[in-house]
Amino acid sequence: MQRKPHAVARSTTPAIEVHQLRKTYPGGVEAVKGIDFTVDAGEVFALLGPNGAGKSTTVGMLTTTIEPTAGSAWLGGFDVAVESLAARRISSVVFQDPVVDRAPTGRRNLELHARLWGADGAGTSELVETLGLAKLLDRPASTYSGGQRRRLEIARALVSRPQVLFLDEPAVGLDPRIRHELLDVIAGLRARGEMTILLTTHYLDEAERLADRVAIIRGGEIVALDTPTALLGSLGRELVELRVDGDASTALAPLRARDLAGDDAFAVGSTLTVPLHDRSAAAAIAAVGELGLVTTGISSRRPTLDDVYLRLTGDRLAAAA
C-alpha cells in the first residue's frame, strides 16, 4: 500500500519525505527535534552538521534501524514505520560504522547482498573496478584495511541499484585518490538522475560539489535548507576575515552597534568573520584596532560554504573540532 502523506496533489511522489521526525533516546537525549524536509526523485541532498547534531540518528530512522519517537517518514511513498520492508527494498545504506560481514570474502558479501534484494548484479564489475576492489574481492573482508572495508560497503550498497541511497559520511577514512574517485561515482549517479541520494558529511567541498540542496542541522534542528548557491548568496559577495590575538567574539557587539558588521558576522575562536554586504572593510578593521584587539592577519575574500556552516554552527563546531 502506497500512501501520500499530505493532501497536497503532487505530480510525482517524493523520494524522501520527512514530517516532524523526532528522536529522544532513552536517558533523555533529544537527538532530533521534529525535522521536516522533502527530497525529490533524482536529487542529491546533503545533511551537514557538527558532531552530535543528529545526522546519523536521522539516517537511522529513515532506514528503519532506529525507531522514531514521533513524526513520520516516507521513502518512495512507503511509510518507514508501517511499510518498513517495502521502504528497505527500494533503499540502501552505508552506515557511519562498518557493518559488512567480516568472515566472507568481498565477492561473497556483494553476491549475498544482491541476492537478498533480488538484484541481478549487473554493473557490479564496473563498480568493483571504480572502487579499486578488484584485487581484494577474493579475500575475507576481515583482512581489509578500514578504507578498503568502506569501499566494499559502498559497492555493496550500490549492487542492489536502490532508488534511494543513504551515505552516512561516505568519504571518512578514504585516501585522497579513492575519495575523489568516490565523489566521481556519486557525481555520475547524480548526472544519470536514476538514484536519489541523501548523504551526510563534514566535508563542505563534497556538499558544494555534489548536492542539489543542503540542510544544515544543529542540535537536532534544521537551521538552514537551500541550494549551495542560495546558501552562499546569503553572505553576499565579499567578507573580511580578521585573526586577532584573543577572543574575537568580544569585537562582535561593538562592531554591530556601530553598524560596521551585521547580524551575520561571527567569531570562532580568534577569528572574526564579517560579511561586508555594502559596508567598508577598512572601517571594520580600524574599529577592531580601536577595541584594543591586536590583529595578526587580515584577508578579504568571497564567502564559501564553510562560512555559512560556521556561522550557523560555530560554537559547537569549534567545541567539537
Ligand X SMILES: Nc1ncnc2c1ncn2[C@@H]1O[C@H](COP(=O)(O)OP(=O)(O)OP(=O)(O)O)[C@@H](O)[C@H]1O
Name the one range near Mg ion by CB under 5 A: 17-25, 50-58, 137-145, 212-220. 50-58
User: Alpha-carbon distance 96 to 63, whole Å?
Assistant: 13
Min separation Cβ 37 and ligand X, Å: 15
Closer to Mg ion by CB, 108 or 316: give it: 316
Q: Between residues 69 and 96, which has the closer beta carbon with respect to Mg ion?
A: 96
| 13-21, 25-33, 106-114, 287-295 -> range binding ligand X (CB under 6 A) | 25-33
- Give the integer Cα–Cα distance in Å for 35 and 80: 15
Choose one: 16-24, 52-60, 244-252, 309-317; the region binding Mg ion (CB under 5 A).
52-60
Of 1-9, 48-56, 67-75, 119-127, which segment contacts ligand X by CB under 6 A?
48-56
For every residue of 157-220, DSSP letters joined together read HHHT--SEEEEESTTTT--HHHHHHHHHHHHHHHHHT--EEEEEES-HHHHHHH-SEEEEEETT
Question: Is 175 in contact with 181 (CB distance < 8 Å)?
Answer: no
Beta strand 271-275 pairing with 266-268: antiparallel
- Residue 54 vs 314, nearer CB to ligand X: 54
Select 29 or 122, whichever has its Cβ closest to Mg ion: 29
The nearer residue to Mg ion, 96 or 304, going by C-beta atoms, is 96
DSSP state of 275: E
SS3 286: helix
Quick one: which of 34, 52, 98, 269 contacts ligand X (CB under 6 A)?
A: 52
Stretch that binds Mg ion, among 60-68, 74-82, 91-99, 141-149 (CB under 5 A): 91-99
Is 239:274 a contact under the CB 8 Å cutoff?
yes
**Which of the stretches 50-58, 122-130, 139-147, 278-286 binds ligand X when contact is defined by CB under 6 A?**
50-58
313 makes contact with ligand X (CB under 6 A): no
Sheet holding 44-48, edge to edge: 91-94, 164-168, 196-201, 44-48, 213-218, 221-226
27 binds, among Mg ion, ligand X, none (CB under 5 to 8 A by kind): ligand X
The answer to whether 24 contacts ligand X (rule: CB under 6 A) is: no
- For every residue of 26-60, DSSP letters joined together read TTS-EEEEEEEEEE-TT-EEEEE--TTSSHHHHHH
CA angle in degrees (0–180, nearest 5) for 45-224-209: 40
Distance CA 63, CA 61 (A): 5
Q: Which is nearer to ligand X, 54 or 132 (CB)?
A: 54
Task: Compare residues 16 and 293 and give the one whose CB is closer to ligand X.
Answer: 16
Q: Is 73 in the site for ligand X (CB under 6 A)?
A: no
Shortest distance, CB of residue 49 to Mg ion, whole angstroms?
A: 9
Asked whether position 56 contacts Mg ion by CB under 5 A, the answer is: yes
The residue from 96, 163, 234, 270 that contacts Mg ion (CB under 5 A) is 96
Is residue 89 near ligand X by the rule CB under 6 A?
Answer: no
Please state the closest distance from residue 274 (CB atom) to Mg ion, in A: 32
Using alpha carbons only, give the angle 192, 187, 112 rounded to the nearest 5 degrees: 80
Query: Rounded distance, CA 85 to CA 40, Å?
Result: 21
The correct pick among 2, 4, 20, 29 for binding ligand X (CB under 6 A) is 29
| Nearest to Mg ion of 95, 117 (CB atom) | 95
Cα-Cα end-to-end distance for the chain = 45
For binding to Mg ion (CB under 5 A), which residues are involved? Answer: 55-56, 96
For binding to ligand X (CB under 6 A), which residues are involved? Answer: 25, 27, 29, 31, 49, 51-57, 96
